[in-house]
Amino acid sequence: MTIETVRNPTVENNVYVSQPVVTNNDMFLVGSDLTNSIYQVFSMSTDYNSFSNIADGENSLESPHGTVHVTVGGENGHMSYVPLAAFDPIFWLHHANVDRLFALWQAIYPDEYLPTISSDGTPTENTELYPFRKTENEYWTSKSARDTKAFGYTYPELVKSSQQSVTAAVNTLYGPMSTAALNGKRKRDLSATNNTSRKEDPDYVCPTTASATYMNTMSVSKSPTPLHTVPSK
């Protein structure tokens, strides 16, 4: 019997069957909102706590991260469930991009990171990241893994490695006047006009369900402030 990962599956004869067209349409429709959500993260989450998790607000990296998971997985798809998501090859492409977004944010806000000390047991930048060994007798920590160059790689936007160049790149790629934002809105409008969506409602974004483990926390209700170079502290 062949076992495969599924996306937005239907059930046929007790077998889950992927719906690639549905998944593509859903990602097609969520594109412009996803671009805006990413830009909100860069422009509004200026400290590590608000950027890294949803505890301090809605404009964290977890928002676009979770949106991709539930849009690709849908109801009962592998990407919608934490224990199963990594079985889908797209998981690795998605998380490579999350890593890239994190690296860009770090370049814009270089002084923001995990705390160096903790009085309540909260992990710090020096907490060992078990079971990931750096050497036979040493584990990686968030501090030693802070820069991607420690692993021998970087990203195109970071080649010049300055706040100004990375800020410009983020504005170009994700800002309100970016090609992705404008094209995404145009394609979404065309999709609604041509009735290519599987939902008649033109405001339909993605099929989030109560059963999805990844919560879709994406919000586009706020207008992000223009992203400018942030001076070092």
| pLDDT, tens only, 102-141 | 999 999 999 999 988 887 888 899 999 999 999 999 999 9
Exposed, middle or buried by CB within 10 Å (0-12, 13-18, 19+), for 211?
exposed
Helices and strands of the chain, counted as H and E runs: 6, 4
pLDDT tens sequence across 28-71: 999 888 999 999 999 999 999 899 988 766 679 999 999 999 99
Question: pLDDT value at position 177?
Answer: 74
User: Residue 191: pLDDT above 80?
Assistant: no
Contact 66, 85 (CB under 8 A): no
DSSP state at residue 223 = P
Q: Phi, psi (5° rounding) for residue 130?
A: -65, 135
Query: Residue 191 corresponds to which amino acid?
Result: S
Residue 165: HSE in the Cβ half-sphere, 13 Å Cα cutoff: 8
Say how far residue 194 (Cα) sits from the centre of its chain. 29
Which pTM does this prediction carry? 0.78
Question: pLDDT value at position 183?
Answer: 64
Separation of alpha carbons 10 and 5, rounded Å: 13
Scanning the structure block, which residue is given the tokens 């959500």?
37
Residue 101: HSE in the Cβ half-sphere, 13 Å Cα cutoff: 26
Separation of alpha carbons 133 and 185, rounded Å: 45
Question: pLDDT value at position 149?
Answer: 93
Question: pLDDT value at position 197?
Answer: 40
Q: Which two tokens stand for residue 99?
A: 């890593």
Separation of alpha carbons 177 and 184, rounded Å: 11
The residues, ordered by sequence, that sit 6+ positions from 159 with a Cβ below 8 Å of its Cβ are none
Contact 197, 190 (CB under 8 A): no
Separation of alpha carbons 52 and 115, rounded Å: 13
